[in-house]
Amino acid sequence: MTEFVTNKINPHVLPNLHIWGWDVAIYLFLGGIAGGLLIISSAMILLQKGGIFNPSERVEEYNKQIQIASLLAPVVLGAGMFFLFLDLEFKTHVWRFYTHFNLTSPMSWGSWALLIFFPFSVFQAIVVCRFSSKPSFLFLARWEKLLEPYLNKIAAVNVHVGMGIGVYTGILLSTYYARPLWSNTVLGFVFLLSGISSAAALLLLIAPSREKQFYTKIDMYIIAAEGFATTLFILGGVTGTESMKNAMFYLIAGPYAAWFWILFVLSGLIIPLILETLEAIGKIRFSPLVPLLVLVGSISLRFIIVYAGQDVPTFA
Amino acid sequence: MSRKRNYAMVIDTKVCVGCSACVYACKAENNVPEGFCRDWIEEKTEGHFPELTMTIRSNRCQHCEVAPCVTYCPTGSSHYGRDGTVQIDRDWCTGCKACLAACPYDARYIHPKGYADKCSFCQHRLKQGLEPACVTTCPTSALNLVDLNSNDGVFGQLIEGREVLKDKVHAGTRPKLFWLH
C-alpha cells in the first residue's frame, strides 16, 4: 500500500489546482477571435492593394466585411481583456503589468503585445471604415487622412500582431511545465488556428450570400490545418513524459473525453469540415449552423483545456 | 554581484514526528489567515504489514535557485532576495496567478486580500538575525536553516553520512529544501 496524508489545506490549490475558470476560458476564446479578425482583415487589405511593396491607388470603398472585421478586432479584444481583468485577484494593481517588463514571462509579453494591438488595429479601422463620410464621425477625418498613406504598412504589421495574439493565447498556458496537459508547444498553434477559424466563421455568418463561399473556403482550409495541429497536440502528449502522457490520456480518455471528442473534434472540426467542403464545391447550400458549430467547438476547446489542465496532477 | 548569503533548509525526516508545531508557529508569526498555510506536514506510508515504513516531513516553498514563479511573474513581484530566498513584493502583485500555475511544488496560494503568498523563510526575522519561526519552534530540531554560501561547516555536518533527497530535481528548479532520510 501507499498512503499519503497531509494537512495542507490551501483552497484552489488542493485537491487540484483551480485558479483559472470560465473568465480565462472566455478571454482565450475572444483573444483568438480578435487575432483571427485582424489577420483576415489585414491580409485582405494587403491582397486588395497588391501587398506592402506595391501600393496601389486609393480604395474608395472597402468591402463591408473588411470594415466589420477591422472594427470588431479591437472591440472583441477589449471585451476579452475585461474578462481577463475579472480574473485578477488584486484588481487595483492591474496597472502593475505596465510598470515592468519581464523577458522570461509570457504574460508580460502578452500584456505589452495587447498595447501594440490596440493602436494598430484602431488605425486600420479608422482608414478602412471611411468614417469621414458620416457627419457624426467627422472628427476622425483628420486621422484618416493622416494614416491613409501608411495603410499597407499598418496592415502588414497587423497580420503579425494578430498572429502574435493568437499564438500567445496558447503560449500563456503551454509554458507552464508544472501543468503537464498545457505543457505542449503545439497548443499555441491549435489556439491560433482555432482563433482564425472562429473569426472566419463569424465573418461567414454575417457575410452577404454572394461572399459566403469565400469565407467558407478560408474556414475549410484553416479547420483542416487545425485538425492536423490537434493531432500533433495529442501525439505530443501521449509520446511525452509520464506526467504528460497521463495528462493527455486524462483529456482524451478521461472525464473530459466526451466533451473533447464530441463537442470539439466531431462537431467543431470534422462535421464543419465536411459540410464546408460540400458548400465550397456547391453540393449543398450554405447553412448558418456550420459557422455556429465552429464557434461552439472553439469556445468548448478553451473551456476543456483550461479546466482539464488544472485537474491533472502537478508535474511529478 | 555575488550574494552574501544563500539560505536553504535541511529537514531531518528521521526525527520529525509530524507534530505540526512548525505549521502553527508559521501561521501565528506571519498572520496566515484561517484555512490557509505556508508550510505543511506530509505523511507517506508504504509497504505491507508488518514491513511498513512511514516518512514524515515538513514541507514549504523550496526557494528554488531557478524559480519558475520568478521566471513567469509578469510584474517582477516574485523575485530573488539577496539572501538567496524567493520573495513576493505585495505592492507589485496583481493576483494574476501565473506563479501558482508555474510552481511545480504547489507551494503558493492566493491570500484573501488578493496577492500571492507563500513561505518567505520568515525574511523579517532573518533580517533581525533570528531564525524562521518554524525552525525556532521545532521541538525535535528536525528543521535547520543553513547558509550554503557560508563556510561554517554546518551544512556539511548535517548531511554527513545521510541520504539527502530533494524534490522534483528533474524540474530543473534547483530546489533548496534538503530532506535527510
The CATH number of whichever domain residue A80 belongs to comes to 1.20.1630.10
Asked if residue A3 is part of any domain, the answer here is: no
Dist. CA B93–CA A66, nearest whole Å: 40
Q: Are residues A30 and A159 in the same domain?
A: yes
Residues A290 and A152 in one domain: no
In a domain, A6, yes or no: no
| Residue A40 lies inside a defined structural domain of this protein | yes
Does some domain include residue B1?
Answer: no
**Confidence band, pLDDT 50/70/90 cuts, at residue B26:** very high
**Do the domain assignments include residue B106?**
yes
Going from the C-alpha of B74 to that of each of A98, A184, B87, B96, the distances in angstroms are 9, 21, 15, 9
**DSSP label at residue A267:** I
| Structural domain for A185, as ranges | 179-316
Looking at the fold, whether A100 and A148 belong to one and the same domain comes out as yes
With residue A310 as reference, give the H or E element that holds it. helix A289-311
Do A138 and A206 lie in a common domain? no
Residue that terminates a domain, selected from A175, A205, A232: A175
CATH number of the domain encompassing residue B55 = 3.30.70.20
Look at residue A304 and tell me whether its pLDDT is greater than 80.
yes
Domain that holds residue B73: 7-180
Q: B61 and B108 in contact (C-beta within 8 Å)?
A: yes
**pLDDT greater than 50 at residue A11:** yes
Same domain? A156 vs A296? no
Decide if A11 is inside a domain: no
DSSP secondary structure letters along B133-173: HHHHH-TT--EEEEETT--SSHHHHHHTTS-EE-TTGGGS-
- Computed from CA positions of residues A113, A128, A134, A205, in that sequence, does the dihedral angle turn out positive or negative? negative
What is the count of structural domains for chain A?
2
Is residue A218 in a domain? Answer: yes
Give the closest residue to A238 by CA, choosing from A228, A223, A250, A227: A250
Asked if pLDDT for residue B137 goes beyond 60, the answer is yes
A15 touches chain B (CB under 8 A): no
Q: What tens digit of pLDDT does each residue of B147-157 get?
A: 999 989 999 99
Best mutation target among A7, A10, A112 (most B Cβ atoms within 10 Å) is A10
| Nearest CB neighbour to A1, from listed B48, B94, B168 | B48
Nearest CA in chain A to B52: A1
Q: Which of B35, B94, B171 sits opposite A93 (nearest CB)?
A: B94
Judge whether A6 is closer than 8 Å to chain B, CB to CB: yes
Question: Domains in chain B: how many in total?
Answer: 1
All 3 cell numbers of residue A54?
506595391
* Closest residue, chain A, to B98 (C-alpha): A107
What pLDDT, on the 0 to 100 scale, is given for residue B93?
97
Average pLDDT over residues B114-138: 97
User: Is residue A2 in a domain?
Assistant: no
How much is the pTM? 0.95
Q: Is the pLDDT of residue B47 over 90?
A: yes
- Of A149, A175, A201, the one marking the end of a domain is A175
A127 and A197 both lie in a single domain = no
Mean pLDDT of A177-205: 97
pLDDT digits (tens, 9 = 90+) for A228-268: 999 999 999 999 999 999 999 999 999 999 999 999 999 99
Q: What's the pLDDT at A54?
A: 72
pLDDT of residue A251: 98
**Strand partners for B147:** B7
**pLDDT value for A56:** 67
Average pLDDT value over all residues in chain A:
94
Residues A165 and A265 in one domain: no
ipTM: 0.93
Lowest mean pLDDT segment, chosen from A57-61, A259-263, B48-52, B141-145: A57-61
Nearest partner of A74 among A117, A29, A127, judged by Cα: A117
Q: Are residues A58 and A183 in the same domain?
A: no
Q: Which of A109, A143, A175 is the last residue of a domain?
A: A175
CA–CA dist A204, A263 (Å, integer): 20
Residues A32 and A164 in one domain: yes
For an interface test with A, give the residue of B60, B100, B108, B166 to mutate (most A CBs within 10 A): B100
Residues A62 and A50 in one domain: yes
A22 within a domain of the structure (yes/no) = yes
**pLDDT band at A55; cut points 50, 70, 90:** low
pLDDT at B1 over 50: no
| Residue B2 within a domain | no
For residue A220, being part of any structural domain is answered with yes
